[in-house]
Structure 1
């Protein structure tokens, strides 16, 4: 079922309520003695917002309603500032491994005796990647690892120049071949389950753990540095991007996060936000997903389809279930807000998305 329609219903209802609170009444015109006063109809017009809003509607504006001011970003979710003149920040992860970030996207590179291995090329700052590398070494870029196929993480590959060996999982190669995008050159080396890159005494272990965010999305481990890179699954200190970061398999994404929490790393590179992650960050996101799943499940089981629906719409199953799903999500948001609204940055931005996505996942998957 298309959730965009649900979002629109909520948005229109909220806008209708907002207009009713803020619109100044028009000056009353004197009634004409020869004509009786006409009483306005209270019946809802077909397709228009209902006069009665959903019960216990959260104060957090639903999707489609512009928010005047979002919640402040908690201090713990922030990272070091980026020099605007450079457009990126370089972070030493130890023994030749570095993270590059613009505090929105993140990539890595590993320096060895004869060259440099780059992991991901976000277009946001890909043109600056050679400059970032040049701060550390003048060695050439010899290898490039694709974390997965999404363009926002590897679409800046051409900015590296040269002809590095490109390594990716088989599913990533398949998707890139299908997409035929010149900004994402096809890999020259592919693997199915595991691949170890050893160059100049440095090592990166690549492994595939199945579909979650996207087929082909891999774990990249630097065991000597105790660094793990997994893109678009963990978001240190932040509410995940909408709909579980647009995960193709929501339950698979939750399972991979659980797996990440159990692995022996010390620093996590998640591909987004302003800082690297810790086990405490991952544990908090695991806890949030557990609460989200429970809240959506309880709302599904305690909400009945058809309650409060206009009797004239009872022969319209789409309308009945649209209303049902909206009420489930309202309850889900209300359940989570007291605990989580101040713990995760951008909670108010994407909580509606997460509740809709979890409701749909539990109901039909």
Structure 2
């Protein structure tokens, strides 16, 4: 973990250079496509489904805390004496969520938390009426005012870095982990040793990278979480909750991606490419050879991780691309009215 010691310690205060828009990225839509492909392939192979016939899995994670998944997306809710706190009313899963809630309580949903502004995560919020108080990070609130395709209720309360939702029985901690661009929010229930971490550590999958968020910040978040005491986390996608071992596996993949980038630079430019942890190759030279570096990084990473995690061929190249980008100077922002061009390069 030596390579991130200088990136700060705060959840919301430490900021990092954003991934440039010119770096191609398979974002959440690509992830959903692969998750659906994986599910369909298992069905064709006769692999037993983890979902009951009712179409969803409801599992207690701790006292009053429940995990919900429709096989593709997942979330959690907390049953309190006076109502339910629901995180992320998943798009297309509102009816199933309501059925799951009725399995354990007749109390209404009184609070809804948006962990991201993605329609896939919050698209069925309107199914729960106008009475619940909606809480979201400020960037999510601002973005929903500009674009809200699913007409999700706008947040009634917003926060910048951290927010404590205190109740009589427990406290839900909300921490902004999305850097300068996204409002992604970590939800921690310390008393129950449970948390929800959107999109960053899906069990048995190579993590997809969000547009506009530096890769080193994503590693920093995982490093911080790995030091916390917890028994389970909700990853936002997939058919099961994550365990501490899943988080460690994802963190190891990030770290090995960085090491693959380092070794790739030494193979391309020689052992003098690094002095300790400092890259000595001029940015212009690095940029000129970036395609070669990305391919070599991917080849080295594949030696240890190819076939071990789902989505490797689709997502691993973007990790190598992101590490190269991290060591290039930031490009000037395009002028108003112009559009940044994105050009993807195929990798083996």
1:160 maps to which residue? Answer: 128
Which residue number in structure 2 is paired with residue 228 of structure 1? 195
Residue of structure 2 equivalent to 1:339: 304
Write the distance in 2 (CA, Å) between the matches of 1:204 and 1:348: 37
Match of 1:82 among 27, 39, 51: 51
Query: 2:142 — aligned with what?
Result: 174
Mapping of residues 63-78 of structure 1, within 5 Å? none
Please state how far the C-alpha of 1:287 moved relative to its aligned partner: 1.4
How many residues are paired up? 279
**TM-fit CA distance, 1:139:** 0.9
Provide the residue aligned with 2:234 in structure 1: 269
In 2, distance between residues paired with 1:362 and 1:189? 38
3-state secondary structure, aligned to 2:192: coil
Alpha-carbon shift at residue 301 of structure 1 (Å): 4.8
Structure number with bigger Rg: 1
Which residue matches 1:238? 205
Identify if the C-alpha distance between structure 1 residues 239 and 124 changes in structure 2 by more than 3 Å, giving closer, same or farther. Answer: farther
Q: Displacement, 1:199?
A: 3.1
Query: 1:137 deviation in Å?
Result: 0.9
Q: Secondary structure at the match of 1:293?
A: helix
8 Å CA contact 1:80, 1:275 repeated in 2: no
CA distance in 2, matches of 1:138, 1:219: 27
| Distance of 1:233 and 1:342 partners within structure 2 | 20
Are residue 191 (structure 1) and residue 159 (structure 2) matched? yes
Q: Distance in 2 between matches of 1:325 and 1:193?
A: 35
Partner Cα distance (2:212, 2:201) in 1: 12
Q: TM-score, normalised by structure 2?
A: 0.72
Give deviations 1:63-87, integer Å, cap 9, x for gaps: xxxxxx99x99xxxx997112x422
TM-score (norm 1): 0.69
The runs of at least 4 aligned residues of structure 1 exceeding 6 Å deviation read 320-323
SS in 2 for 1:328: helix
Distance change (3 Å), C-alpha of 1:322 and 1:3: farther
In the alignment, is the contact (CA less than 8 A) between 1:79 and 1:103 conserved in 2?
no
List runs of 5+ in structure 2 lacking aligned partners.
Answer: 1-20, 27-36, 270-284, 331-348
Distance, in Å, in 1 between the alignment partners of 2:115 and 2:327 is: 28
Is 1:294 the equivalent of 2:294? no
The alignment status of 1:354 with 2:323, answered yes or no, reads no
Tell me if 1:101 matches 2:69.
yes
Distance 1:163 1:234 in 2: 33
Residue 333 of structure 1 aligns to a residue in which SS?
helix
Structure-to-structure mapping, 1:114-125, within 5 angstroms: 114-125=82-93
Find the counterpart in structure 2 of residue 324 from structure 1.
289
Q: CA RMSD in A?
A: 3.0
- The answer as to whether partners of 1:129 and 1:160 remain within 8 angstroms in 2 is no
Query: What SS does structure 1 have at the residue aligned with 2:328?
Result: helix
Cα offset for 1:245? Answer: 4.1
User: Separation in 2 of the partners of 1:359 and 1:165?
Assistant: 43
Deviations 1:260-282 (A, max 9, x none): 11112111111112211122111
2:119 counterpart of 1:151: yes
State how far apart, in whole Å, the 1-side matches of 2:48 and 2:312 are: 18
Quickly say closer, same or farther: Cα 1:100–1:247, change in 2 above 3 A. Answer: farther
Residue 82 of structure 1 contacts residue 89 of structure 1 at CA under 8 Å; is this kept in 2?
A: yes
Whether the aligned pair in 2 keeps the contact of 1:233 and 1:256 (CA below 8 Å) is: no
Tell me if the contact between 1:233 and 1:245 (Cα under 8 Å) persists in the aligned partners: no
Contact 2:130 2:153 in 1 (8 A): no
Task: Choose 244-253 or 187-196, whichever is displaced more.
Answer: 244-253
Whole-Å Cα distance in 2 between the matches of residues 364 and 288 of structure 1?
25
The structural deviation recorded for 1:283 is: 1.3
Q: Is the 8 A contact 1:300 1:359 kept in 2?
A: no
Aligned partners of 1:136, 1:256: CA distance in 2, in Å? Answer: 33
**Structure 1 unaligned residues grouped into runs of 5+:** 8-68, 305-319
